[in-house]
A = this chain, B = another copy of it.
Amino acid sequence: MTTDATAPRALPREPRQDRSRATRRRLLEAAVDCLASAGWAGTTVAVVAERAGVSRGAAQHHFRTREELVTAAVEYGADVRMTQMRERLRALADRRLSTLEVLELLGEMYTSPLFRAALQLWVAASSDEALRAQAVPLETRVGREAHRLTVEALGADESVPGVRETVQATLDLMRGLGLADLLTDDSARRSRLLRQWAVTLDLALGEECRSPG
């Protein structure tokens, strides 16, 4: 009897929560695209709501300010990209990716709209104390996660001196490549550069720096 009595009340709640989650996700995806194409100045809650096909009121129910929306969007975008990368690694569980394949995956991640969106957040936060307080923990968390993922993908052994710094440098290089792609299509140069970097990285990591894959 209890089950019968609560079920009809509980049921309608579920779709409403689903709808709310779907609305939130649409807003976050629209915000990433909007930041990447229109920049910080062109990204307001109202503009993003319209792009997402969500009423302004509903958007403001989820995100009161542009700062809240942008921070949540960059976090969401980073989680999506890293989940995708983790899934690709899992799908290939039977073999290790080559160093060049890992670098190309990273290169895609750091030239995606997500990187452009994150760049807008970092640059805006560099001259806004309140925003910086939100952006720094996010950047730290995302940076750590990207590092862990790269170590895993490369099969690098961080207990060997110098390996940690070499992996970090690889990710800083990716950030630099993301910047270099901001104003012009840098893909041809990037492709040559990554091929060479794969050779150098194999040399730098060597066999003794690779964990048994």
Residues of A within 8 A of B (CB): 37-42, 116, 119-120, 122-128, 132, 135-136, 139, 162, 165-166, 168-169, 171-177, 179-180, 182-184, 189, 192-193, 195-197, 199-200, 203-204
Residue of B nearest to A206 (CB): B203
Q: Given A166-B196, A196-B166, A204-B203, does the pair A42, B127 have CB atoms closer than 8 Å? A: yes
Do A196 and B175 touch (CB < 8 A)?
no
Do A183 and B38 touch (CB < 8 A)?
no
Q: Given A165-B193, A200-B204, does the pair A127, B173 have CB atoms closer than 8 Å? A: no
> Of residues A42, A119, A172, which shows the largest number of chain B Cβ atoms within 10 Å of its Cβ?
A172
Q: What's the minimum C-beta distance from A53 to chain B, rounded to whole angstroms?
A: 22
Do B39 and A184 touch (CB < 8 A)?
no
- How long is the Cα–Cα vector from A122 to B116 in the complex, in angstroms? 11
Pairs of residues from A and B, 8 with the lowest C-beta to C-beta distance, nearest first: A172-B176, A176-B176, A175-B176, A39-B127, A165-B196, A200-B204, A173-B173, A165-B193
Beyond contacts A136-B184, A203-B204: 17 other A-B pairs, Cβ-Cβ < 8 A, are A37-B127, A39-B123, A120-B123, A122-B179, A122-B183, A126-B183, A166-B200, A168-B193, A169-B193, A172-B176, A172-B177, A172-B180, A173-B173, A175-B175, A176-B179, A179-B179, A203-B203
